[in-house]
Structure 1
Amino acid sequence: MTESEPTTAIVWFRRDLRLHDNRALAAAAEADRLVPVYCVDPRRCGSRSYGGSEPFAFQRLGARRARFRRESLAALRERMREAGTDLLIRRGRPERVLPDLAADVGAGTVTFHDLPAPEERSVRAATTAALRDRGVTPRRFWGRTLHHPADLPTPYTAISDTYTDFREAVEAESRVRAPRPRPSLPPLPTDDDPTISDPLSPGELPSVAEFVEGEIEASERDDRAALDFRGGEDAALDRLSAYLWDGDRLREYRETRNGLVGADYSSKLSPWLNEGCLSPRRVHAAVEAYERERVANDSTYWLLFELRWRDFFQFQVLKHGGQFFAPGGLRRRDVEWRWDEDDFERWAAGETGVPFVDASMRELNATGYLSNRGRQNAASFLANDLRLDWRRGAAYFETRLVDYDPASNYGNWAYVAGVGNDSRERAFDVVSQAKRYDPDAEFVTRWLPELASLPPERAHEPWTLSPAEQADFGVELGVDYPPPMIDPESSGDDPV
């Protein structure tokens, strides 16, 4: 190629579906022509087997997250078209699609963001090897975390496995890079360009059914949902603005973050962060602006504290790889996890007879979202009270959550199950937790309307109703609501 010939680059979108603060996009946009592409990888859809010594099958992507991803892709395509280009959709494995596409358009480079989970890194390795075999230069970047790996006090392979130590180190010795603005985007190669071997077709956006194997679960939005999560960069930035500036809720984040009902008890930015519609550095910049213009307090700090928790799990997955997902977790504990299909199905359906757990699971099933407090208690009940394999619960969350992220989901589950990044026992007293965080039983009765006639104290402990009281309140245990699967008095401690 002579210097006078135009350069062409491909940007491969993964979980970074945004234009702002996108280093891979900015690098590719330095070329004369740009080909943005998203690959619908069949390995990421349908059912799969959880590997290892005790494999089991599960649906890896549920309809709600599939819909959110499709909305995010549609929004990204719209932004691309407004900028005078387009988003190509290709179906197939990236290691096969991208080398062929590079040959078709005469691209010399493919840029992309790296991701931390072992499977994601395996796809990256296969893709970069295939590109190099075809004479194409892969260029990878990092945009997943608040802190860049190069800015950590130590290499990620040497970071502490304890969050407090990690946080204190990055707060003292690291920095957060400023988010990058949206780049100007060069055009697509035109079909009449002689270097193009095949006409460029944008391709159809994937349907929800294409992501989900078998019968699609009902995915209508539930009126009781905490927030109407819609995919895309614009929706992400709108939520950030609404929470910080319009609602002015950041000033009370630390006090409200354990809430259970409503749109603003927490930031609820996680679906957009995890799909890459929102950069964590953009959030950091917004928090700093809020602190300058309104208030800097424990709550503004605490949102950044939680973003560093998210970083911690991303780097832990990078450090430990597959051990992060093993039955014994990072602590390699030899635990004989029980398996009982009926018990698991009762937990998953919200039919355990413990209202706080059941309300949590029913909210998850109906909306794809669940508060952090609900997640911790539902996870503790499965792993610590029922002693069922924590990975199966985590895999169920993987299917259902609209904000699923491999590192955060499995990291938090392992943490609660006592095999992760904390040596302390994390068993929750779910009844005590219910009384503390849902004193008026508003959350429980919202998702368990069959208990709505009960006073709050009894709604959390319906098994204490005498036969006469059951008749008075119109709630018959075993008919209207199941008896508890466990002795509630034997549930765990009561961590804050």
Structure 2
Amino acid sequence: MELIDIVWLKRDLRLQDHAPLAMACQSGRRTLVCYCFEPSLLNDPHLHSSHQRFIVESLADLSGQLKQQGLSLQVFWCDFITLLESLSENFILQNLYSHEEIGVMSTFQRDQAVARWCRTHGVHWQEIPQYAVQRGHRGRSGWRAFADQFLKQPCCQVQLKQLTTLQLQPEHRAYSLKCQQLPRLWLSRNPHYQPGGEQAAQQQLQHFIDERLEQYSFHISKPHSSRQFSSRLSAYLAYGNLSVRSVLHALKPLPASRHRRAFYSRMRWHCHFVQKFESDCRIEFEPLNPAYQRLLAEHQQQLDPVQQQEFFTAWAEGQTGLPLVDACMRALLSTGFVNFRMRAMLVSVACHHLQLDWKSVALHLAQHFLDFDPGIHYPQIQMQAGMTGFNTLRIYNPVQQSLKQDAETRFITEFVPELRDFPTALRHQPWLMTPLEAQMFAEFAEGYVKPVVDIQATGRAARERLWRWRESPAVQAAVPRLLRTQVSGFSAQQLASAQE
């Protein structure tokens, strides 16, 4: 039987700066370049049809690029181990090349099963990092130097002219596993969402550098203008249409500016947060600081479950009666995007003002963030929900955010059209309407819901509760260990101070 190699694509849907592909090009063997839609993973609660649509668009882009080189991409509808078993009936599997995936528990368990299969069957699986992340590293010692070295390395050159791809034939067992038809919802283009694909990603990056970078810092916190002036690269990074390293290299020739520095630092933060998740992946299910587990459980028992479900539904559907909160949620539901500050506000309102269970909040947002990346998502959820014991406590007031970040209410009026005919001041706080104004705008006032909570009262209660929890001995006892594993460059002096 013929010796073959496999390149397994996951969250790395690109051709450039792709080490697994580069290694396959050098092997001299025919290579199966493949992606699997795995039935065992399709029910993962983080997934949404918008994610699958983005993947399908990315695969179509990759397939088109490879065809121009006389090469092929094979897409399968089966679990990856099923594919390996079927291939092994007709071929000798020599090398399996892939990038490391820093994913949720379901993909981690899948990877563990693949590793066992490869060991049992003598297949050499080479997993290559695609982020500045140290696999299995439990502390932050040495991470900064590692990240500097990794990100400064030149982008990996993929010599596709040296690659020969394997075309399966009907007589091959694995041929029957090829994807024949995809769900219609995955195939319908939604013009309100960014399109997937490496070429779309490169166009977005170039346009950002040429046209928008020098406005970046002025707009990143504003929900309306951030849609135009932020990089809008996050989805392309989440699905590997671009590598972090290639984006940083694209910045190198540019002159120094505050905007370039701000964007560069955020790109570095990307790997910083993914490393946090890799170092403690239990935060998908548990508070980072274990002392919060009991505190949150006891607090949830004191709440009315019926009211909590009503609050969750109102928050998740953009019907809280808090204009900026509702505008952000409706924008997310219809476009898959809101900027970072508004994401933090959504979490804060949900977990602090409405006192919702953080895991339900995390899953809802994961489903609707087009750029959902577990390594970014869960560390940020933990921080914004106040479950670390050492990060700054942020209890966002959505009215203050509205007045500061959407002063002219352009964002609010776009996504909460019920308020368009109100004066600007009332679009921020419609509950402040006087009796006379209520008569003047009676026709419109009925179209928008009343606030589900008094944001001033819930803010005061949240501050008292969160600071009381944070200062508890159990929370503080866990902080020194967490600082060692979660904070890069934490000094011995800072550690001693934290232990006092």
For the aligned pair, the TM-score class normalised by the smaller chain equals: 0.7 to 0.9
- Correspondence for 2:268 among 308, 313, 316: 308
Q: Which residue of 1 aligns with 2:134?
A: 149
Choose which of 397, 406, 409 in structure 1 pairs with 2:374: 406
1:41 equivalent in structure 2: 38
Cα contact 1:16–1:113 (8 A) shared by 2: yes
Cα drift, residue 456 of structure 1: 2.0
Q: Which position in structure 1 is the counterpart of 2:285?
A: 326
Taking the aligned partners of 1:242 and 1:423, their CA distance within structure 2 comes to 35
Moved more, 93-102 or 308-317: 93-102
Number of positions where the alignment pairs a residue of Structure 1 with one of Structure 2: 449
Q: Is residue 24 of structure 1 aligned with residue 20 of structure 2?
A: yes
AA in 2 matched with 1:34: T
Calculate percent identity across the aligned residue pairs. Answer: 25
The question of 1:137 aligning with 2:137 is answered no
Distance 2:364 2:195 in 1: 22
Q: Distance in 1 between matches of 2:385 and 2:222?
A: 23
Q: Does 1:231 align with 2:196?
A: yes
Change (3 A) 1:244 1:14: same
Residue 62 of structure 2: aligned partner: 76
Counterpart CA distance in 1 for 2:52 and 2:172 is: 33
Give CA deviations for 1:63-105 in whole Å, capped at 9, x if unaligned. 2222111101111111222222211112222123224324433
Amino acid at match of 1:254: S
1:253 partnered with 2:216: yes
Deviations 1:312-359 (A, max 9, x none): 22111111122x123433454121345521111111110000001000
The aligned counterpart of 2:155 is 179
SS at match of 1:9: strand
Alignment partner for residue 66 of structure 1, among 40, 52, 70? 52
Task: Give 2:466's aligned residue.
Answer: none
Q: Secondary structure of 2:106's partner?
A: helix
Structure 1 match to 2:182: 207
User: Per-residue deviation at 1:120?
Assistant: 2.6
Is residue 2:448 matched to residue 1:485?
A: no
Aligned residue type for 2:277: V
1:123 maps onto 2:123 in alignment:
no
Q: Distance in 2 between matches of 1:330 and 1:475?
A: 50
Relative to structure 1, the CA distance from residue 39 to residue 190 in structure 2 (aligned partners, 3 Å threshold; closer, same or farther) is closer
Displacement after TM superposition at 1:202 (Å): 9.0
| Structure 2 counterpart SS, 1:119 | helix
- Which residue, 379, 391, 410 being the options, matches 1:423? 391
Residue of structure 2 in register with 1:389 after alignment: 357
Quote how far apart the aligned CAs of 1:464 are. Answer: 0.2
Distance 1:370 1:192 in 2: 45
Contact 2:86/2:174 (<8 A) preserved: no
Using the size of structure 2 for normalisation, the TM-score is: 0.82
For residues 85 and 218 of structure 2, the distance between their equivalents in structure 1, rounded to whole angstroms, comes to: 51
Q: Deviating runs (4+, > 6 A) in structure 1?
A: 169-174
Inter-partner Cα distance in structure 1 for 2:286 and 2:181: 34
Alpha-carbon distance between aligned partners in 2 of 1:454 and 1:440, rounded to the nearest angstrom: 12
Q: What is the root-mean-square deviation in Å for CA atoms of aligned residues?
A: 2.9
Q: Which moved more, 1:180-189 or 1:131-140?
A: 180-189
CA distance in 1, matches of 2:59, 2:365: 23
Once the two structures are TM-superposed, the CA of residue 421 in structure 1 deviates from its matched residue by: 7.6
- Matched AA of 1:239: Q
Partner residue of 1:188? Answer: 165
Structure 1 gaps of 5+ residues are 49-58, 223-227
**Separation of aligned partners in 2, 1:79 and 1:172:** 32
Preserved contact between residue 33 and residue 73 of structure 2 (Cα < 8 Å): yes
Displacement of 1:286 after TM fit? 0.6
What is the DSSP-based 3-state SS (H/G/I as helix, E as strand, rest coil) of the residue aligned with 1:363? helix
Matched AA of 1:22: H
**TM-score for the superposition, normalised by structure 1:** 0.83
Q: 1:26 to 1:304 in 2, by over 3 A?
A: same
Correspondence 1:268 to 2:252: no
Residues in 2 aligned to 1:97 and 1:136: alpha-carbon distance in whole angstroms: 14
SS in 2 for 1:29: helix
Determine if contact 2:78/2:177 at 8 Å carries over to the other structure: no
CA distance in 2, matches of 1:120, 1:411: 18
Which residues of structure 2 form unaligned runs of 5+? Answer: 464-500
Q: Are 1:20 and 1:180, in contact at CA under 8 Å, matched by a contact in 2?
A: yes
Structure-2 separation of matches of 1:67 and 1:422:
38
Match of 1:286 among 250, 253, 277: 250
> Structure 1 residues 317, 269: CA separation in 2 closer, same or farther (over 3 Å shift)?
same
What is the distance in 1 between the residues matched to 2:67 and 2:128? 24
CA distance 1:8–1:149, shift in 2 (3 Å): same
Residue 115 of structure 1 and its aligned partner are, at CA, apart by: 1.3
User: Given the superposition, is the C-alpha separation of residues 192 and 96 from structure 1 closer, same or farther in structure 2, using an over 3 Å criterion?
Assistant: closer
